[in-house]
A and B are shown apart, each in its own frame.
Chain A
Amino acid sequence: MSVARRIGSRAGFTILELLLALGLLAIVAQKTFVMLTAASKATATDTSALVLEEKARRVLQQVAMTIMSADRDSLVPGVEAPLDTDALRFKVHLGVENGEVVWSEPEEIVQKGQKVVWRSYVATEKERHITWTNLVAPFLEGEIPNGMDDNGNGVIDEKGLSFEVDRSAVTIRLTLAQAAGEGDERLQTVETVVTCRNLQEAKE
Chain B
Amino acid sequence: MRETHLHGRAHRAHPGRRGSALAMSLVAASSVAILSAGFLQLSSAVTRRQAGAIENRQAFYMAEAGLGEAFNAVHIGRSGQIGSMSEPAAFGGGFFWVDSAPTPEGDIRLECTGMAGSGRATLELLVTPVQEDVALLGVFSEEALDVDGELLIDGFDSQHGEYVEQAGGEPEPAACDDPDECLKALEKYELEVAKLNADIDEKLAKVAADLAASLAPLDGYLSGGYDDDDDDDDDDDDYRKALEYQRLYRAKYAEDVAKLEAEREKKLGEELKSLRDKSCDACDAGVATAPVAPALNGFGRQLVDIDVDVLRDDFLDVQVPLADGAEPVGVQLDVPQDAPSDEETFGTHTGSGGLLGSNGPITLGTDGVTQIEIHGDVEPGSGTDLTAGGSVYVAGDTDARDEPVELPPIQVPNVAGMPALKHDGPVPMVLPAGDVGFESIEVAENAVLVVRGPARVVAGSFTLLAGAEVEFDTTDGQVDLFVTGAVNMVPGSYVETTQPDPSQLTLQVSGVDADGADPSVVLEAESQFYGTIYSPDAGVSVGASFEVYGALIAHSLDLAPGVRLHFDNAYSAKGSTLPDIVAWSVSEVPAAVRGGNDPMQRIGADRGDLRLPADAHVLDEVLINVEYVDDTGAVCDFVGPESEFDWDGVRSVIESRRVLIGSRALRNEGDRGSAAAGGATSSMPGSPSSPDSGGDQNWDWSDVDWEALWDPWSDYKYSQNDGA
Q: Is the CB of B126 within 8 A of A50?
A: no
CB contacts between A and B, total, < 8 Å: 61
Knowing A65-B586, A202-B580, A202-B582, the reply to whether A50 touches B103 (Cβ < 8 A) is no
Contact at A92–B585, with CB atoms within 8 Å? yes
> For residues 94 through 140 of chain B, which have their beta carbon under 8 Å from a beta carbon of chain A?
103-105, 107, 109, 126, 128
A197 close to B581 (CB less than 8 A):
yes
Is residue B50 within 8 Å, beta carbon to beta carbon, of the partner chain? yes
**Complex-state Cα separation, A199 to B105, whole angstroms:** 18
Instruction: Kindly state whether residue A179 has any CB partner on chain B within 8 Å.
Output: no
Q: Give which listed residue, A51, A95, A198, contacts B584 with CB less than 8 A.
A: A198
Chain B residues whose CB sits within 8 angstroms of the CB of A93 once the complex forms? 583-585
For A51-67 the 0/1 string (1 means CB < 8 A from B) is 10010011001000100
Q: Is A96 part of the contact surface with B, judged by Cβ < 8 Å? A: yes
Q: Say yes or no: is B46 at the interface (Cβ < 8 Å to chain A).
A: yes
- Contact of B5 (CB < 8 Å), options: A4, A95, A99, A197: A4
**Complex interface residues of chain A between 62 and 104 (CB less than 8 A to chain B):** 65, 68-69, 92-96, 98-99, 101
Q: Whose C-beta in chain A lies nearest to the C-beta of B67?
A: A197
Is residue B335 contacting chain A, with contact meaning CB distance below 8 A?
A: no
Please give the distance in Å from A69's CB to the nearest CB on chain B.
5
Count residues of A near B (Cβ-Cβ below 8 Å).
28
Query: Which residues, 1 to 24 on B, are CB-close (under 8 Å) to A?
Result: 2, 5-6, 9
Q: Report the interface size for chain B: residues with CB under 8 A from the other chain.
A: 25
A68 CB contacts on chain B under 8 angstroms: 584, 586
Does B42 touch A at the CB level, under 8 Å? yes
Whether B53 sits at the interface, judged by CB under 8 Å, is: yes
Residue of B nearest to A202 (CB): B580
Partner of A50, one of B9, B46, B105, B580: B46
Q: With a CB–CB cut-off of 8 A, which chain B residues contact A197?
A: 581, 583-584
Instruction: Indicate which residue in A8, A51, A96 contacts B126 across the interface (CB closer than 8 Å).
Output: A96
Known contacts A96-B103, A96-B107, A96-B126: A101-B582 contact under CB 8 Å: yes
Q: Which B575-610 residues have C-beta < 8 A from chain A?
A: 580-586
User: Which chain A residue shows the least CB distance to B125?
Assistant: A197
CA distance in complex: A99, B109 (Å): 12
Q: Cα distance A198–B583 when bound, in Å?
A: 5
**B252 CB–A CB distance under 8 Å:** no
Closest 5 CB pairs of A and B: A197-B584, A99-B105, A93-B583, A93-B585, A203-B582
Give me 30 A-to-B residue pairs in the complex whose CB atoms sit less than 8 angstroms apart, sorted by A's number: A7-B6, A8-B9, A43-B39, A47-B42, A50-B46, A50-B50, A54-B46, A54-B50, A54-B53, A58-B53, A65-B586, A69-B586, A93-B584, A93-B585, A94-B585, A95-B585, A96-B105, A96-B109, A96-B582, A98-B105, A99-B103, A101-B582, A101-B583, A198-B583, A198-B585, A199-B581, A202-B580, A202-B582, A203-B582, A203-B583
A-side residues, CB < 8 A to B, are: 3-4, 7-8, 43, 47, 50-51, 54, 57-58, 61, 65, 68-69, 92-96, 98-99, 101, 197-199, 202-203
